[in-house]
Amino acid sequence: MDNTIYTKRWLEADWQLFKTIRLEALSKHDNFFGSSLESESSKEDSFWKNTLVDTNRLAIFGLYDEDKVIGMKAIFRDWNGREGVAVLVMSYIREEYRGKGLSDLLYKASIDWAKAQGDIRILTVGHREGNVASRSAILRQGFTLTEVKDQLYGNGETDTDYIYQLKI
């Protein structure tokens, strides 16, 4: 792996980078995300800034090639109120950087953040039916399949979603 590739945790000052890559991801792959480009592109700049302020509830990481953002991943404390659980979401890497194992860097950053919190014991992550790249990355990190369910995606389609857990 190239030494110029690294992750950085985004804070409030990085909101424009976050917004740009998130909207790019949704514009290219709304069939893999729970939100849509239409929904998120209409959000005020304050939404993007405020999302990065709550550093105890979440962490969002940018993936960089030197100074260029090439991907992202987020980890949130579970929004359904499950104590000790965090959810990994918003995974995206630009197409020309895929297939190089770079998602491992984003997983490592997310898992390290969760461990540092001290109270998170279980991580969950999911992927849509047919997303072989996500499945491979998830399994490389040691996650195990725990649930299969129907999920509504940002493009309005419902498909099978595979949910995995990792105990940390």
Q: CA-CA distance, 13 to 102, in Å (whole number)?
A: 24
Phi (first) and psi of residue 58, to 5 degrees: -155, 165
Lowest mean pLDDT among 10-24, 77-91, 102-116: 77-91
Q: Which fold has domain 5-167?
A: Aminopeptidase (3.40.630)
In this predicted structure, the answer to whether residue 30 has a pLDDT above a threshold of 80 is no
pLDDT at res. 36: 66
Give the residue, 92 or 128, on which the prediction is more confident: 92
How confident is the model over 65-87, as pLDDT tens digits? 999 999 999 999 987 878 999 99
How confident is the model over 143-161, as pLDDT tens digits? 999 999 998 876 677 889 9
Give the residue, 141 or 151, on which the prediction is more confident: 141
Residue 107's alpha-carbon distances to 88, 113, 123, 134, 158, in angstroms, are 9, 10, 11, 11, 26
Indicate the angle between helix axes 132-140 and 103-117, nearest 10 degrees.
50
Residue 154's alpha-carbon distances to 37, 80, 130, in angstroms, are 8, 19, 16
pLDDT at res. 154: 66
In the chain, pLDDT over 90 holds for what percent of residues? Answer: 72
**Rounded to 5°, angle at Cα 10 from 5 and 12:** 155
In the chain, alpha helices (H): 15-29, 37-41, 45-51, 103-117, 132-140
